[in-house]
Structure 1
Amino acid sequence: MQIPLPLRSPRRTSRKRLKDMTWRRGGRAARMTGSGLGQRTDRHWFSLHAVLVALLISALPTASNATPCGEVQGLENFHKAIEDVEGGVRSRPLTILHLGDSHIALDSFTRGLRNRWTETFGNAGRGLMPGVPFRYYAPDGFKLEMRGNWDVASSLAADASGPFGIQGFRASSADKNAVMGVHSESAVSRVVIDVYGTPHSGALLLKLGNAASLKLSTRRDVPGLIQLSVPAANVHEVRLMPAGTGDVHVLGWNFLSSGSPGMRYDSFGVVAATANITRRWDRQTVHAQIGAMKPDLVILGFGTNEGFNNGLDLEAYRELASSFAGEIKEAAPDASIALLGPFDGARQGTGEACGDGWMTPPKLDGVRGVLRDVAAAHGYFFWDGGAAMGERCASNEWAKADPPLMYADRVHLRPAGAERLAGALWNALMEQEKQGSSCGRPSGPG
């Protein structure tokens, strides 16, 4: 649906603090207190931080041989899209969709990928989850607010009900005093809102900068996805409010910029998620979202939490991974598909010993093997995050490195480790034809 641009000059609007709202996991609601405005990454601080991280990484000792962690197949369509852009035969932005777990719930890992792509091709914007779906959600380049009576539901729990899209969350409200707002560091030339419409849905009010609010219907005779695409005059402030005419169900929204041709990189990660979460997403909604996005590359980064499950049925996981990747390919037949094998990890408990009481979960390498086989069988790209770190137990070594590259839990990456692996994955995705089967970065912290 195309909405005409209101002819009013934009200016910044004030932002108020976040009030209490309800976050839900599945059918049961739990009251949580909002923590104020989402925190924005300061660009000047990050530039200095990135330089320091780069110096740190360059000083680290490396293994004598690069560890193979990619397979030479599956990126042909993505590379063709890049060639078309570089050759001037395509003006549509390069588009990447990345789905996964806590490794991409924040921008610590995706930051290195996004910065490299936007520096190379320009910034065409990105999609965001609805409002503030969890308290520490703070995407780079944006400051978020959410106040009033919003019911935020997560698709994480096995009993999660209601429609969900690729963002994994849904924010619903009928309160005309509720507000969902964004301040974007980059100028926004178009806003696309993903809502789930029903015959009883109400309307939304969309305010772009200082322009008059637009009233947008979210009603649909047959329940399903509605995408409200609204041009914006390079504004920085966007606010969304229920009109008070019935419930509205916001799945996410997209803030697009006029970078030409630009790179759009959408990353949606849910903490503690496994690939099972995709079974609770509405199939028609997911298909419509991906079809409208027309991604050139879809990255699937599940597997860490599955690998920590001693009871995981690897054959059932093979079927699930193959099925969901196939559904994505059906929705975006021209997209390349990349399956990421999980990073190395360790825990106190059962598994193969790494020292100091830390063990490698017994199913972690099995998950990598399943994803490698699925990629080989269907012509997808596979990248082994564990091999990119080094040998088994690399997570223990990374956590003990000085300074550490991994947090003490031996699961999550510190900024320096995240930047290092982001560089390795970017090299594999962008320079595969030159790197062969190597990730492009040596392993191990030394």
Structure 2
Amino acid sequence: MNYNKCLPVGKPLALLLSLLLMISCHDEEQEAPVLSAGQSQETVNHNQLIRFGDAGLDRLAAKLQAGNQRVHILQLGDSHTAADLFTGQLRMRFQQRFGDGGPGMVSPVQVSGQRSAVVSFSKPGQSWQLFSTRKDPGEDFPFTGLIAQPLQNNATVTLTLTNGNPGRYQVSTLYKSSTDATLMMGSASQTLPNSQNHWQLSAPQRATFPLNATLSGQDHSQLGGWFISAPHPGVILSAVGINGATLSAWKKWQADALAPLAALKPDMVILAYGTNEAFDDDLDPALYRRQLEARVVQIREILPDAVILLIGPPDSIKNKEQTRCNRREPVSLANVMQVQKQVAEAQQLLFWDWRGFMGGACSIERWSAAGYARPDLIHLSADGYKKSADALFNQLMTLMKQEQ
């Protein structure tokens, strides 16, 4: 530090003033941003949100600012996504500011232990059997990780928008079939062409909610979800999560499962995995990095213009009986976060440090005491998820405004 420019010359009073100025100069210097080792000048850090040079963010910012286009954000993840509390709040913030483009992608039927903030379903009853990548074998799942198999001809499910809006929407069905099938949505009939047992999206169909959907073709057809959009500009935020999911669950997806995802044309893809990997004491960081890089490459190949955001796992506690923080937290949590940040930098993505926002190691205990986390010290409360989503939204807005 050059103290000469701060140190005045004078008598005792001036000497005292000089000492105060030296302290002031020191404080200002400490607050100046410092690039970490290997961090490029293109890296932009707004609180916990780091931009490692993703050019797609500029296009997304311009599209949102225009206000006359549909913007689709799609989040893939584990239970933090499947609860649709974090994503529900993020959806609400985007839609309040930029317009409501509709609910987005939702499950085919009700999934036990999961929820949607935008759609509720009639009970499957004896009409449907649900399979998921969480507990069922197979390598023919869609990217939603769910398969609804009709158990009878003309199996029906009723979808209701939780906001009570009965307006008209456009609905596409994620399905696969070995023959032509028929889907009734309300009083309108739609043919689902033979997809040769590959997952694909049907043509959008106008529909009014509550919606009674009936599928014929019990032995030949399956559903993977519904994509619901409004017939006007606005933001759509799809929450596609499975309790207990890890990146390895993608191995159960059909080989071309990302094709219908590409057809949805998301402007931003958020990958929000890591909690379940962190609880794996035998996690191989090198293997995990290869898996994560492979997923990013897959998305980049089908969506070259989309923004990709990695969300690090929130803080969590695994060994509650231990007294020291570093022994209470999951063994692999630090490795997961390090790998995610490394991949984000190497692949020039966005990265949001959720754990850092919470306060770092063992911060979930303080969050739990304040009512922001559940007693399991893994999941957050509704208020905790909303607080987190508000932080990410605000940091995204700051970053996009800064970079426009």
Q: TM-score, with normalisation over the residues of structure 1?
A: 0.74
Instruction: String of CA shifts for 1:148-178, please: whole Å, max 9, x gaps.
Output: 3312110124x62152122110111251242
1:57 — aligned with what? none
Report the structure, 1 or 2, having the larger helix content.
2
Amino acid at match of 1:225: W
Any runs of at least 4 consecutive aligned residues in structure 1 with deviations exceeding 3 A, and if so which? 349-352, 433-436
Provide closer, same or farther for how the CA distance between residues 354 and 236 of structure 1 changes in structure 2, counting only shifts above 3 A: same
Aligned 1:342-361 pairs, distance under 5 A: 342-348=313-319, 353-354=324-325, 359-361=328-330
CA drift of 1:300 comes to: 0.2
Structure 1 contact 343–386 (Cα < 8 Å) conserved? yes
Provide closer, same or farther for how the CA distance between residues 138 and 342 of structure 1 changes in structure 2, counting only shifts above 3 A: closer
CA distance in 2, matches of 1:188, 1:78: 31
1:262 — aligned with what? 234
Unaligned runs of 5+ residues in structure 2 are 1-44
Aligned 1:282-301 pairs, distance under 5 A: 282-286=254-258, 288-301=259-272
1:236 — aligned with what? 209
Provide closer, same or farther for how the CA distance between residues 284 and 352 of structure 1 changes in structure 2, counting only shifts above 3 A: farther
Instruction: String of CA shifts for 1:75-129, please: whole Å, max 9, x gaps.
Output: 53134233134236xx431111100000011121112101100001111111101
Alignment counterpart, residue 109 of structure 1, candidates 65, 71, 86: 86
2:194 — aligned with what? 219
| Residue 383 of structure 2 corresponds to residue 416 of structure 1 | yes
CA distance in 2, matches of 1:162, 1:365: 31
CA distance in 2, matches of 1:266, 1:405: 24
1:155 — aligned with what? 133
Pair member with larger Rg? 2
Q: Secondary structure at the match of 1:283?
A: coil
Structure 1 contact 67–387 (Cα < 8 Å) conserved? no
| Residue 74 of structure 2 corresponds to residue 97 of structure 1 | yes
2:108 — aligned with what? 130
Provide closer, same or farther for how the CA distance between residues 313 and 350 of structure 1 changes in structure 2, counting only shifts above 3 A: farther
Structure 2 contact 150–218 (Cα < 8 Å) conserved? no
CA distance in 2, matches of 1:122, 1:135: 31
| Residue 317 of structure 2 corresponds to residue 364 of structure 1 | no
CA distance in 1, matches of 2:276, 2:46: 24
Unaligned runs of 5+ residues in structure 1 are 1-65, 437-446
| Residue 357 of structure 2 corresponds to residue 378 of structure 1 | no
CA distance in 2, matches of 1:151, 1:353: 45
Provide closer, same or farther for how the CA distance between residues 295 and 425 of structure 1 changes in structure 2, counting only shifts above 3 A: same
Structure 1 contact 100–269 (Cα < 8 Å) conserved? yes
CA distance in 2, matches of 1:105, 1:282: 21
Identity of aligned residues (%): 27
| Residue 248 of structure 2 corresponds to residue 276 of structure 1 | yes
**How many residues were matched structurally?**
355
